[in-house]
Structure 1
Amino acid sequence: MPRLAAGKQRKSAKILFICVGLLGAALIADLLWASSTSSSARSFTYKPAFDWPPPKTSSDSFPLPVSSNHSAKVVADKDKKDEFHGRILSKTFADLPGPELKWEKMSEAPVPRLDGAAIQINDELFVFAGYGTIDLVHSHVDIYNFTSNRWGGRFDMPKEMAHSHLGMVTDGRYIYIVTGQYGPQCRGPTAHTFVLDTKTKKWEDMPPLPVPRYAPATQLWRGRLHVMGGSKEDRYTPGVDHWSIAVKDGKVLEKEWRIEMPIPRGGPHRACIVVDDRLYTIGGQEGDFMAKPNSPIFKCSRRNEVVYSDVYMLDDEMKWKVLPPMPKPDSHIEFAWAVVNNSIVIAGGTTDKHPVTKKMILNNEIFQFQLDTLKWSVVGKLPFRVKTTLVGFWDGWLYFTSGQRDRGVDDPTPKKVIGEMWRTKLRLL
């Protein structure tokens, strides 16, 4: 009996020891979990991609009225809390600081345009095609005269010509038009190419591109029409192909397109500029909306897109050289640029999608790329965020028209397609 009692006591002590051990282990695990949760929450805290210092006040900058001020502001009571990740996100996601400019609203375009095209020749801006709505595309040209500040001179495009996502460039009289999307929604591309004589308003056919493309980078360089990148026939897959063909005074001098050095990174909606015998491509994206499978109207369906800030230059040996990237990723800028005082100026566009909502984010910055120093800066802000702007520069004034603007100061996602024309006096150092 004494041995039995002693055995029961040892058994009870053993059970008590095990319970205490389990309780201690649970307490330690709880402390470790709390520590890791805190650390995880900190790791998800959002910070802007670029932490730039506040801009200096410029004597050449004129502030907009308070009601129109769309500069980036991080205001605590307007910030939106992402409850799932426990982080704070500004509604004005990714805006960069820059001087405010005084904008003047000019005569509105005859029609609103999205994904249209524009070419400036002297004091005239030729504005082509584009969406009016997702179900309506334009098939004509409007002309804005910077001297009279009026619209006029409308004329029709060829019936076979693309309505959006065009490649386009001029030699000062003739405008060369290459490929693009034919029709509304997310319809297929066409390989048709044309040349327009801006003096006679007559169109001529050119040899079709080897395969159709959406929004390829297009420029005239050393007597040849160059067409690069864009999206392939499915509207989504980036193309890296690069073709050229010899042209002069609106005439094509060869029967076939020549294969050139592929562009390092494919995709549509980038700027392509020739300055001082150097060819530059700037920004752009990989991926785009696609037609919904089996949709009889080719209804657009969103797909993942990657917006980038890459800058490339084609050198004398026909090799691509990597240059300093843009201050932030920027796309939908193929006709949003002008050359001013040995600089490339780019207005608006789209940047990386919102990290939580995954919605498209529009830009309102005016970027300057100084060609002598290869440095980027923000030299101003647009009156609102907008993509696919059509830009011109005349007599010291920077103009832009058309595109798709934001939903308001605190919502940088796209909403209304516009035909507004704005201008500001641009003073660059």
Structure 2
Amino acid sequence: MNKKFYAILIASFCAIALQACSVDSTLGTVPEPKNIHWQSQTRLPAPLQEVYPAAFDRKVYVAGAFEKMSPEHAVLAHLAASKHTYVYDTQNKKWMSGPVLPESRHHLGLIANDNMLYAIGGFNATSHDAWQVKRTVYTLQKGHNTWGAGPDLPIPMGESVYGVVNGHVHVAGGRTLINGKLRDTNAHWVLKAGRWQQAAPLPIASNSATSVVIKDQWYVMGGRVNALDFKNLDNLWRYDAQQDSWENLANMPQASAGLASAVLNGQIYVFGGEEYTYITNNQGEREMKTRTFDGIWRYDPDSNLWHTEPTTMTSTRHGLGALTVNNHIYLLGGATQAGATGTSATFERMSLQ
């Protein structure tokens, strides 16, 4: 074989190798996220905020929120703690009435584990005290239509985060009673064999965060510290149940509290929230300024990177709920204004196109 033949042969091998490398590189590249598309769903039976929905028995469950009431029944602006359970069937796209709670609650944490739906902690409300934090746990068994009594929390907790890790229900953070006063907590409890056991506390005592579980790793994002003039947090913490430890990951693009989150295609999507900020006016007096967010932030666990989505929510909202059902994210309720006004009955489905 002459030199010319060798040159052609080598060039051919190089071309084949380069083509193979190009294919391998393409296969290994994470595709760009698709565009976000919003579709309105059947509106909630009533305007709700401070909701913690759950996917249970292939349906959307909402129970124990701040519900908009007539003036004679409202205890905080136009709101009162709700006893209602609302159930949405994604097949026939209708809301139904579920079993009534034993007591009214707002900020009631719903979390499903196997054939049981848990309704954890939260607050009762009267005109004299709208923030009566509770330790009660209610349970709803699949196929039943009555809430039962579950194991009470060791301490009262509301505005917490909730997750199922390795088959066990976890509750962390929020607010509790300390020396008779409502304070932020970093307490973390896990339900095993019908008993709540202590687990590694959150790194920061805070409330109004949001969380998701991916591959038995619990991600907790945002929140606020009331003791620091309601300072919002941009932290992202990941809990490893095997090590019983928390790891600090990349900070969120926007510090936010009263936000919501859900998982789609292995990515964490975080929505909205609110912020309270104290400023000093021209008279030297402190004033509180508020705002709500319409931002959507996406976190990639593999790269530990956040992305601000170019598409926003259809309105600013805090105290909203988010969950994933049938490869769609559903957003529901919330309020367009910070605090106890602007409560919404909005119910939307987010798809990627």
Tell me the equivalent position of 2:54.
119
- Please, which of 197, 220, 236 is the counterpart of residue 311 of structure 1? 236
- CA change 1:381–1:242 in 2 (3 A) is same
Residue pair 2:99, 2:147 contacting (<8 A) in 1 also: no
Larger radius of gyration, structure 1 or 2?
A: 1
- CA change 1:414–1:115 in 2 (3 A) is closer
Q: Does 1:178 align with 2:120?
A: yes
- Please, which of 303, 319, 327 is the counterpart of residue 388 of structure 1? 319
Tell me the equivalent position of 1:241.
187
Tell me the equivalent position of 1:362.
292
Shift of residue 191, structure 1, vs aligned partner: 1.0
Map 1:23-102 → 2, pairs under 5 A: 61=35, 102=37
Tell me the equivalent position of 1:280.
219
- CA change 1:418–1:279 in 2 (3 A) is same
CA deviation digits over 1:34-62, x for unaligned, max 9?
Answer: xxxxxxxxxxxxxxxxxxxxxxxx9954x
Q: Which runs of 4+ in 1 moved over 4 A?
A: 58-61, 354-357
CA deviation digits over 1:112-163, x for unaligned, max 9?
Answer: 111122101364110112112425221011111222222124331123xx51
Shift of residue 282, structure 1, vs aligned partner: 1.0
Q: Does 1:164 align with 2:102?
A: no
Shift of residue 354, structure 1, vs aligned partner: 6.9
SS state at 1:353 partner: strand
- CA change 1:172–1:339 in 2 (3 A) is farther
SS state at 1:194 partner: strand
CA deviation digits over 1:380-406, x for unaligned, max 9?
Answer: 201110011122334454321111114
CA distance in 2, matches of 1:415, 1:180: 19
Tell me the equivalent position of 2:261.
337
Q: Does 1:193 align with 2:137?
A: yes
CA distance in 1, matches of 2:218, 2:323: 19
CA distance in 1, matches of 2:315, 2:89: 24
SS state at 1:382 partner: coil
So what's the TM-score if we normalise by structure 1?
0.64
CA deviation digits over 1:168-206, x for unaligned, max 9?
Answer: 311243112221101245231111112211322232222
CA deviation digits over 1:400-424, x for unaligned, max 9?
Answer: 1111114xxxxx8874111121234
Identical counterparts, % of pairs: 18
CA distance in 2, matches of 1:390, 1:59: 23
Map 1:99-114 → 2, pairs under 5 A: 102-114=37-49
Tell me the equivalent position of 2:248.
322
CA deviation digits over 1:68-123, x for unaligned, max 9?
Answer: xxxxxxxxxxxxxxxxxxxxxxxxxxxxxxxxx55333221111111122101364
Which amino acid counterpart does residue 116 of structure 1 have in structure 2? Answer: V
SS state at 2:147 partner: strand
SS state at 1:165 partner: coil
CA distance in 2, matches of 1:223, 1:139: 28
**What is the aligned residue count?**
301
SS state at 2:92 partner: coil
CA distance in 1, matches of 2:272, 2:123: 22
Residue pair 2:99, 2:146 contacting (<8 A) in 1 also: no
Tell me the equivalent position of 2:210.
271
Residue pair 1:329, 1:352 contacting (<8 A) in 2 also: no
Q: Which runs of 5+ in 2 are unaligned?
A: 1-31, 69-75, 281-286
- CA change 1:110–1:317 in 2 (3 A) is same
- CA change 1:323–1:124 in 2 (3 A) is same
Q: Does 1:149 align with 2:73?
A: no
Which amino acid counterpart does residue 137 of structure 1 have in structure 2? Answer: A
Q: Does 1:378 align with 2:331?
A: no
Which amino acid counterpart does residue 420 of structure 1 have in structure 2? Answer: T
Map 1:225-264 → 2, pairs under 5 A: 225-233=169-177, 236-246=182-192, 253-254=193-194, 256-264=195-203
